[in-house]
Amino acid sequence: MPECLDDFIADDNPVRVIDAFVDELSLVSIGFDRAAPAATGRPSYHPAVLLNIYIYGYLNRAQSSRRLERE
């Protein structure tokens, strides 16, 4: 069976809490108008993924995308 990214994250890692929190949000109702992708053009990153990264960075005091990349 191929390895999954989920296998590398411990069960008690805060990333799981952030992911569960964002999954419960209705992104369209809180202002993420582009949560439903358009049928044309190159697909963008899903807003939920970007929100997960933003919240993770905020909680870990990572103020730049380069620092987030290193983590």
**pLDDT (tens digit, 9 = 90+) per residue, 40-69?**
777 778 888 889 999 999 998 988 888 887
Reported as a pLDDT band with limits 50, 70 and 90, residue 37 is: low
Give the 3-state secondary structure of residue 47.
helix
Q: Is the dihedral angle over the CA atoms 44, 14, 19, 52 positive or is it negative? A: negative
Round to whole Å and give the CA distance between 15 and 57.
Answer: 11
Contact 24, 55 (CB under 8 A): no
Contact 68, 56 (CB under 8 A): yes
Contact 35, 47 (CB under 8 A): yes
Reported as a pLDDT band with limits 50, 70 and 90, residue 20 is: very high
